Each structure stands twice: as structure tokens, then as C-alpha cells.
Amino acid sequence: MAAPTRLLFVCTGNICRSPSAEGVFRHMAAAAGLAERAAADSCGLASYHVGEAPTRAAQDAASARGYDLSTLRARRFERVDFDRFDLILAMDGGHEAQLRRMARGDQAARIALFLAAAPDAAAHEVPDPYYGGPAKYEYALDLIEAGCRGWIDRLQRA
């Protein structure tokens, strides 16, 4: 059996968008029978929240849709992640640009915008809901579900 495709979801602090994407992706991959073919993790580019759980608002929005983020803890992106993961998926263009500046050689080929797999999504980036209310988290989760469906579809076709 081939090694699983390893996906890394990246945002700023790893307490809103990227852990939500990790939780949603894992749930969808299991439901699609891809749990053995895909592995997911998440991280942040900043160290503000290392060791913390996703925000209560992120957990509540995810839980209402059947996703469990309670065991996830924030960590910071490390340069070795370029070698650990097949796909490094940035939640927005700023994250993508920062990752590309850090990449060496062919590592940049592993980087993509998360919503690149969801061309029909309502946006091209997942906006940060951190300073917003529940509606911002719901909108971010709508986009995250669309992106995860797109990546699941790509894995199923691979």
C-alpha cells in the first residue's frame, strides 16, 4: 500500500482556520473511505498560541456541524514541515507568500492556496474570523468545507 498523502493546513495562529480545516478534512476523508490514503495536520506561522486549543467559537461552529476539534493543539510551522508534507495549504495569500519566501528549491511546488481546490467557492481565501462573531466563523467554515471537498475530490481522482 502506498504511503498516505500528507496535507498541512496553515494559518496565522493555528487556533481558528487551520485546525478547523484539519478537523473537517479528517472527518470527510474518513467518510469517503480515504483515512488510509490521506493524513492531515495543521499549524500556524506565528507562535502566539502554541499549545492552545482552537478558539471556543471555532470549536462551537465545528461541533454544530459534527466536527470535533477538541483534541487539537496549536503548533508553529517548522522548516522541516516542507519535507514532512506533500501539500502545504495556505488559508490566504499572505500565508502563501510567507511560505514561498521560506521555501528552498523545489519545496515551493508543495505550496498552494487552500481554496485552489474549490474554484466555485464564494472566495479565494478563507478570511480570519478571530475578531468576528459567530457569523464570521460560520462563513469561514462554509469555505473550509468547500475546500476540503475539493481536496477530497482530487485525492479520489488520483
Catalytic residues: 11, 17, 128
Query: CB–CB of 58/107 below 8 Å?
Result: no
What single-letter amino acid sits at 1?
M
Three cell numbers at 145?
468545507
Rounded to whole angstroms, how far apart are CA atoms 108 and 122?
Answer: 26
Query: CB–CB of 24/62 below 8 Å?
Result: yes
Which is it for the CA torsion 30, 141, 123, 131, positive or negative?
negative
Could you tell me how far CA 153 lies from the centroid of its own chain? 16
Length, in residues, of the chain: 158
Which is it for the CA torsion 72, 36, 152, 10, positive or negative?
positive
